[in-house]
Amino acid sequence: MTERKSPPEMARWGRASGSGREASFFMKAYRSWYRVEWEGLENVPKEGGALLVSNHAGLMPVDGGIIQYGIEEELGRTVYSLAHHGFWRFPFAGRFLNQIGAVVGHPQNAHRLLSEEDAFVVVFPEGEKGPVKPTTERYRLQRFGRGGFVETALRAGVPIVPIALMGTEDVTPTVGILKLGGYRYPITLNALLFGPLLGTVAHFPAKIRARVLPAVHFDEPPNQESYSKSLMMDSAEAIRGDLQQALDEMLERRESRWLG
Amino acid sequence: MVVLGGGTPLGRRVVASLRQKGDVDLAIGIEHQPFEDPAMNDGLEFLSWAPDHRPFAEYLLKEEIDTVIDCGLVADRGGAVTQSSGADVISAMYVGAAIADERSSVRSWVMASSSAFYPSESYMPLLQRESHSNHPRANDRGASIAEAEDYARSLAKRLPHVNVAIMRLQELAGGEYRGPLATLLARPLVPRILGFDPAIQLLHVDDAVGALSWAAGVELAGLYNVASAGMLRWSEAVEATGHRSIPILPVSVSLFEPLLERLEIPFVPASMFELLRYGLAIDIEKIAGAGWAPENDQLECLATLA
């Protein structure tokens, strides 16, 4: 067999270096605007990949960035977010997302990051239903699909780490839904107050707290041809239940939306 | 061994490579008809497909051929693009029918297919694997290739004593061979679609020859992606060639292509529009696991275009 050559240096996932402008701007907001506080960081695995799952909301959600940059800042581990492929259809949008560490939400991308690169991958099992949930449904988790994220973790042989986020669903509250071209887009209060462009980045200064729940480990071997659908669905529901319980507790303890 | 498409730049190099190997008794390049330039016909034999596969079957018998390498599908990036949609599958059927002749001594069929099988779409993963099962749409450039591959796979099932290897070759570059992607990158002013920076990948022609010859030598069976090592973003690839890039609006201009071509105005051909928006890179882990690895990386592919 011929000896394999190393590929050239490349931005494999299109990500800019951590000291990029976007990262630096976001970290300022992370510390000063959202004043993020973590608890339960000891539950994050020290080695290997892990699938991080959380609650999701808003038109320009900050939840992915909070988890991604937060974990990288606090623990020095590499984190990627999975995002809807539709963003990549628009000029600059996909490239920008790649640069800040998001990749197309495809099981093979997640698998490669988790099992080959030992990275953390953030996924929001509520999917598109998260950003369009109205203010009356804030912190009420929507259905977790068919448990596909559990299959991704099983296949890669990594644990799932649930992270409950409090405050992220208050920074861009959804007040209506725009149906366009078969998709549903949230109309946020921010967009109504500041206009559609400025409204996507002008977020309300809600205090954000993140609670990391104990990691969920599986006994199933990785890379199997298929996995039990009931195992996937049951595990997804159990994780959803744990996250909802944590969110309820955090919501009850919260004294002020802005001060935490 | 016989090499179909032996008159193509890739086919010629495969024949030359096989002839250098000590363990190959006979390596013959075959074309359906002679080229207009007589110099191009040196070292080739000509066999007509008309009226059916029988002349080729008789030839295989007479020469006691044990291995057929088919390079006919990759005449262009998609292979089928410049031909009628049925040409690939009809050609594959003729080869298959000749191999399936009960007197045939052929035990190995290596089909040089194309990564054009995979769609360039926003929803595809960064690196595409052989397990991707969604067939391209009927009017896609990969549809004809998918059909030809399906035929080869069905033959492999029917004739378990014949090893059928389907090699999905990535965009070719190197030497005198430039696929459409390499042709774009070789221009002094390389078009890029405004707001997109897709992942791309090339296959050095030496690696393509190496992979096909190796597959024939080990009587490989199955479906394999073949590319040179690594992948690059389009902007990185342009930079590596030392050329300049020019932004093009993300609008297809297929109607005006002949005019733009004549005026020498840079544009992205309609057939490559999606490729330059969403990219196409393939995973070569499977063939690496089988024992083959490329000799060249992406920068070495691009060095041939500088």
Sequence spans of domains, chain A: 21-250
Helix, strand, coil fractions of chain A, as percent rounded to 5:
40, 15, 45
Min mean pLDDT across A249-253, B84-88, B131-135, B209-213 is at: B84-88
Asked casually if ipTM beats, i.e. exceeds, 0.90, the reply is: no
The H or E element containing residue B14 is helix B9-20
Taking the complete model, does pTM exceed 0.90, yes or no? Answer: no
Residues A94, B196: C-beta atoms closer than 8 Å:
yes
Residues A112, B293: C-beta atoms closer than 8 Å:
no
**Which comes out higher in pLDDT, residue B51 or B35?**
B35
Domain that holds residue B161: 2-178+202-230+281-295
In a domain, B45, yes or no: yes
Both structure tokens of A253? 């303890």
Assigned CATH class of A21-250: alpha beta
- Give the pLDDT band of residue A113 (cuts 50, 70, 90): very high
C-alpha to C-alpha distance for B8 and B148, rounded to whole angstroms:
19
Residue-wise pLDDT for B60-97, tens only, equals 999 999 999 998 776 543 333 344 455 667 788 888 99
Both structure tokens of A235? 């595990």
Q: What is the pLDDT of residue B179?
A: 82
Asked if residues B170 and B202 have their Cβ atoms less than 8 Å apart, the reply is yes
Q: Which residue out of B120, B121, B123 would a mutagenesis test of the A interface target, given it has the greatest number of A Cβ atoms within 10 Å?
A: B123
Residue-wise pLDDT for A197-221, tens only, equals 898 889 999 999 999 999 999 999 9
CATH code for the domain in which residue B168 is found: 3.40.50.720
Residue-wise pLDDT for B181-220, tens only, equals 898 999 889 999 999 999 999 999 999 999 999 999 999 9
Q: Which of A2, A86, A91 sits opposite B295 (nearest CB)?
A: A2
Helix/strand/coil (H, E, C) string of A39-98? ECHHHCCCCCCEEEEECCCCCCCCHHHHHHHHHHHHHCCCEEEEECHHHHHCCCHHHHHH
Mean pLDDT over each residue of chain A, to the nearest integer: 89
Residues B229, A4: C-beta atoms closer than 8 Å:
yes
In a domain, B256, yes or no: no
Residue-wise pLDDT for B13-32, tens only, equals 999 999 888 777 778 888 87
Min mean pLDDT across A250-254, B55-59, B140-144 is at: B140-144
**Partners of A184 in the β-ladder:** A179
The answer to whether residue A7 scores a pLDDT higher than 50 is: no
The residue behind tokens 């050329």 is B243
C-alpha to C-alpha distance for B2 and A143, rounded to whole angstroms:
58
The answer to whether residue A19 scores a pLDDT higher than 60 is: no
In a domain, B246, yes or no: no
The H or E element containing residue B192 is strand B189-193
In a domain, B185, yes or no: no
In a domain, B285, yes or no: yes
The count of structural domains within chain B is 1
The answer to whether residue A4 scores a pLDDT higher than 50 is: no
Q: Which residue out of B134, B197, B284, B292 would a mutagenesis test of the A interface target, given it has the greatest number of A Cβ atoms within 10 Å?
A: B197
Asked if residues B176 and B40 have their Cβ atoms less than 8 Å apart, the reply is no
Helices within chain A (DSSP H only): 21-28, 63-75, 93-99, 107-111, 148-156, 189-194, 198-201, 229-253
Q: Is B224 exposed, middle or buried (0-12, 13-18, 19+ CB in 10 A)?
A: buried
Residues A88, B122: C-beta atoms closer than 8 Å:
yes
Residue type (1 letter), B306: A
**Size (chain B), residues:** 306
Q: What is the pLDDT of residue B139?
A: 52
The residue behind tokens 């068919």 is A146
Residue-wise pLDDT for B236-290, tens only, equals 999 999 999 999 988 878 788 888 888 888 888 888 889 999 999 999 999 999 9
In a domain, B194, yes or no: no
Chain B CA closest to residue A116? B285
Q: How far apart are the CA of A95 and the nearest CA of chain B, in angstroms? A: 6
